[in-house]
């Protein structure tokens, strides 16, 4: 069995870096999703709008050499992102469209990981 091709998305929240491992076939979608969320997050009127890190880089290889940093799996990250946005109590902006985009990528990753487990 060959190891699937992975990419790494580097996220920065203004203070810390986060590294997300994604299937290469889906990495661009996470970067694009982050750009879209940043474009729309300013339109939210809820009090509990989360701070969202910026996608600052993608790379094909990553070796973390500092134990203060860890690698987050793509599905784990998407589950966390979905939970964060699902918890927003928005009344003015159609938050459902953002949640739909998040959940679509989440579902694609779930299917990808299931297929990888079956091989």
Judge contact between 33 and 105, C-beta under 8 A.
yes
Judge contact between 11 and 57, C-beta under 8 A.
no
Burial 35-54 (b: 16+ CB within 10 A, else e): eebeeebeebeeeebeeebe
* pLDDT tens digits along 27-41: 999 999 999 999 998
Burial bucket for residue 2 (CB in 10 Å: 0-12, 13-18, 19+): exposed
Q: Specify the pLDDT at position 70.
A: 92
Name the pLDDT band for 47 (thresholds 50, 70, 90).
confident
For the chain, give every domain's residue range: 6-118
């Amino acid at each position: 069995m060959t190891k699937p091709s992975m990419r790494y998305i580097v996220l920065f929240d203004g203070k810390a870096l986060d590294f997300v491992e994604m299937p290469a076939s889906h990495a661009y979608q996470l970067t694009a999703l982050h750009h879209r969320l940043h474009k729309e997050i300013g339109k939210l009127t809820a009090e509990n709008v989360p701070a969202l890190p910026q996608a600052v880089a993608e790379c094909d290889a990553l070796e973390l050499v500092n134990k203060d940093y860890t690698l987050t799996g793509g599905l784990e990250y998407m589950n966390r992102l979905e939970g964060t946005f699902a918890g927003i109590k928005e009344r003015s902006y159609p938050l459902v469209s953002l949640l739909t985009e998040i959940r679509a990528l989440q579902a694609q990753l779930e299917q990808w990981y299931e297929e990888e487990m079956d091989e």
